[in-house]
Structure 1
């Protein structure tokens, strides 16, 4: 279910009513999305006012949030950096935002920046919360920074080396981002595995191999599961070499996963290790910050091949319907971007 509304500002105080307004997407309750007008705070010293150009939908996490499938135990850990409200709702949630700085320090004014801010047409944040998008990276492509940042962290956790045979199970936005970064390591054989045969075309554009689940190659030095399914994790365990390691990069929300830990799991001495973007991978935590990681991700987006992941695009007016379609599986987009250019 979705609702597309524009609420008024009658409840604002007289002082608040004089503030400029922005349009924002809120989850009223699980499965119900709305558009609200809300005031934008005045930019103070050390702040920036950003006018949003594009936001991106992080399909896996945002679908779980939209449908209310975040366990209560994870509500605090799953908070987005600039979230308003609390899970399961009403809540304003999201973290893939690219816009232009209209007010703030001279060095940032007029710059296109990436911010971990929800779906909203304009907003004010501290200046150190925005990261400039490098020259030559298109603004719409820059919404993929969150996905590429996750891919960087997964690969820091996984530690692939030259010549590895690597399988990524799940050709979604994260899996495809990991595959493209791996493709740039000399001698690495990369195969994306997915139940959706149409993902072969995306794999071709990324320059990596593709196999359906029934024909996934075996004896892989490293297998990374991004499918968000227990079937994908089982396939990963079947595909990895003896004494091998599977990196579990999916997040299941409140859904259980069933595995066969009998059979040859112990005799082959297999390992499952989690990877999560909330903290810098342990191998780099002493030398890199989360800002370093995000800046690296944005620089890696100079690669035109990432445009293959931008498979859907809509006006902000359609965001409630788009989010509902992504959450219930009616849309198969890898990364669906939202255009805010005329939302002033």
Structure 2
């Protein structure tokens, strides 16, 4: 079977892989769509993401949906073969203090599809078939097509970030960065009852996608004189992964407000306006991945067909490098999907 493998910085290959076989407690899934994530792009362009560096070839991908083929044994009570499913990409250890405290998303020994956080790396889901723990399968709600369901993983990230901001019902929320995650934060914030969501970005096309996701105002980050720039917001989610975005959040959030750092900042130290955190008693919180939000994401996607607009392209697996190049071009694209279907 074919899979999409990263061998090092700039070295992305579509190559033959051994067909996997499900063992006890595992499921074999025929992958149909896989979303190209910002972390996949970082592995391709930089050989790593954040502090996680490639040390061996790795199948990329953790935003995957498809159809159940078989189980390695049993399967009682699980989605029947032929069922359309989304794959939850995380397998927490269930034993560390974080898991015991109900914070499985920051498990210190988790396994996450397509991640170089540990060695050997956890191979990802960008392959025609993939074996995963059977408990990671989620059948799609009625009416949710596989194509839109491919947004479940990044929407889960967005839902978790909004949850970290606290109760935002009736409040004004700022989102810095209108990439795929930032746009989905918009949708998550509106679903949580935010009265107004303002999004900033440098790229006009990205701001158009943010409006499609439900933003009330979309402003150029480099045009602070815009009349849509807020004087103050109740909460902010930094989704750009750059220090300038964090600075904007800290300067615009009200005293005693909450800033959630969601975007992964560059490796090493990052300067930020720490004195504002002190003098205004701003709560600065991190948001990393997700846990139970995955099921919420699938339900929300079933209710919101408008989120189809965030899928800017669907590209056959054989043209994976072109798909990655398109996904990296934020002036043109939002979410790009790889198509692993038979017609590729």
Q: Which residue of 2 aligns with 1:48?
A: 27
1:1-344 matches, within 5 Å, as: 22-58=1-37, 60-66=38-44, 67-70=46-49, 74=52, 87-104=54-71, 105=75, 107-115=79-87, 116=89, 117-186=124-193, 188-209=195-216, 210-213=218-221, 214=224, 215=226, 216-254=229-267, 256-262=269-275, 264=276, 266-277=278-289, 290=291, 292-302=292-302, 303-327=304-328, 329=329, 332-342=332-342
How far off is 1:129 after superposition?
Answer: 2.5
Pairwise CA RMSD: 2.3
Distance 1:161 1:331 in 2: 30
Structure 1: 5+ residue runs without aligned partners? Answer: 1-21, 76-86, 281-289
Helix, strand or coil for the counterpart of 1:114? strand
Give TM-score scaled by structure 1 length.
0.79
How far off is 1:224 after superposition?
Answer: 0.8
How far off is 1:99 after superposition?
Answer: 0.8
Give TM-score scaled by structure 2 length.
0.79
Q: Which residue of 2 aligns with 1:83?
A: none
Distance 1:44 1:246 in 2: 44
CA contact (8 A) 1:101 1:110 kept: yes
Helix, strand or coil for the counterpart of 2:143? coil
Structure 2: 5+ residue runs without aligned partners? Answer: 90-123
How far off is 1:331 after superposition?
Answer: 6.4
Distance 1:223 1:110 in 2: 42
CA contact (8 A) 2:178 2:206 kept: yes
How far off is 1:100 after superposition?
Answer: 1.0
Distance 1:161 1:321 in 2: 39
Distance 1:167 1:330 in 2: 20
Change (3 A) 1:148 1:71: closer
CA contact (8 A) 2:141 2:299 kept: yes
Helix, strand or coil for the counterpart of 1:318? helix
How far off is 1:332 after superposition?
Answer: 4.2
Helix, strand or coil for the counterpart of 2:200? strand
How far off is 1:265 after superposition?
Answer: 5.1
How far off is 1:135 after superposition?
Answer: 1.7
CA contact (8 A) 1:23 1:343 kept: no
Deviations 1:196-221 (A, max 9, x none): 12234323322322222223312101
Helix, strand or coil for the counterpart of 1:273? strand
Distance 2:277 2:23 in 1: 58
Helix, strand or coil for the counterpart of 2:48? coil
Distance 2:318 2:192 in 1: 41
CA contact (8 A) 1:145 1:301 kept: yes
Distance 1:32 1:171 in 2: 27
CA contact (8 A) 1:100 1:110 kept: yes
CA contact (8 A) 1:218 1:241 kept: no
Helix, strand or coil for the counterpart of 2:210? helix
How far off is 1:46 after superposition?
Answer: 4.0
